[in-house]
A and B are shown apart, each in its own frame.
Chain A
């Protein structure tokens, strides 16, 4: 990633305008062609600096209001296997292993987004059935205080 790439990310991270030539202003500011802007974005994606270039959806606004963080207490020796199974569920958008604490035994985290709480509960039950992990919690988000993309 060179300095132009960094500036390019900074100029686009709050979103491009919805117009016929959304990269025109950026290309002028960077002193490169619009084609080069697009090529650089492709390259950034190819090299993994960005996961994708696309839309962030206001899932609440369109009714996907149930957002459960499921936390699972998985025996350490089964994390690899169980994590892979959980990640295979399409309703699971994120799946991570995280550390435990004395008052926090849950080491696997899956995010489940759906239209209703019942959907989320159903998915969690299915995951539990598929993995045999029965010690888990569903932590619903009650309020959103902040949500922005990761910024440079």
Chain B
């Protein structure tokens, strides 16, 4: 785990939901943080290198751009977990993939341009892995707002 000072924490809290949309966003941020832009960029570079920041970019609303997505849970035998996770990851449309402690032990999300394509990918995965899986598309959305409160 990396060490963060108070300025780092302020940066991490600011860039998630309040990244300024501006031609010179880091300059604007540096005013808010009370440090020079040079120092901010240096810190950002380090936070990226250390894995605290993955990227700054658009969080695309799949549904709104015409796409569709789902969550899939799959039962993989213990001995084949790595192999099956790799098969799943090979699909570019898979955005998240986790091992979880449960009977359904591999959980991944898939987004595709349309329903047909999404079903195709799920069918392919069922065939490729030979594992039982359940398709869990969102029926109702109550909240989506990932913001990590960095303490």
Contacts and interface: CB of A to CB of B under 8 A. Distances in A.
Question: Do these two chains really belong together in a complex?
Answer: yes
Interface of A: 1, 9, 12-16, 18-23, 34-35, 38, 41-42, 44-45, 47-65, 69, 79-80, 83-84, 86-87, 90, 92-99, 101, 103-104, 109, 113, 115, 137, 139-152
Given A13-B58, A142-B101, A57 B143 contact: no
Given A59-B148, A152-B65, A15 B73 contact: no
B1 A51 contact: no
B12 A22 contact: no
Contacts of A51: 59-61, 144
Contacts of B150: 57, 62, 64
Contacts of B60: 9, 13, 49-51, 149-152
B44 to A, nearest CB: 4
B64 A14 contact: no
A49 B67 CA distance: 11
18 contacts: A14-B57, A16-B57, A18-B56, A20-B37, A42-B21, A53-B19, A54-B19, A55-B16, A58-B53, A60-B51, A83-B142, A94-B146, A98-B137, A142-B98, A145-B85, A145-B99, A149-B60, A151-B60
Given A61-B1, A141-B98, A150-B69, A22 B26 contact: yes
B73 A53 contact: no
Nearest to B56: A55
Nearest to B61: A51
A146 B65 CA distance: 23
A21 B23 contact: yes
Given A53-B56, A109-B71, 20 more contacts: A19-B26, A19-B41, A35-B23, A49-B61, A50-B60, A52-B59, A54-B19, A55-B16, A56-B56, A61-B1, A69-B100, A83-B142, A90-B149, A97-B138, A104-B134, A139-B102, A141-B107, A142-B99, A144-B98, A145-B89
Contact of B142 (A21, A97, A113, A152): A97
A99 B24 CA distance: 45
Contacts of A62: 1-2, 4, 12, 52, 148, 150
Contact of B24 (A21, A86, A95, A146): A21
A56 B107 contact: no
A151 B143 contact: no
Contacts of A96: 138-142
A146 to B, nearest CB: 4
A88 to B, nearest CB: 8
A97 B140 contact: yes
Contacts of B144: 51, 93-94
B79 interface: no
Contacts of B92: 151
The 9 closest A-B pairs by CB, nearest first: A15-B55, A61-B51, A87-B143, A55-B15, A95-B142, A145-B97, A97-B140, A146-B97, A54-B19
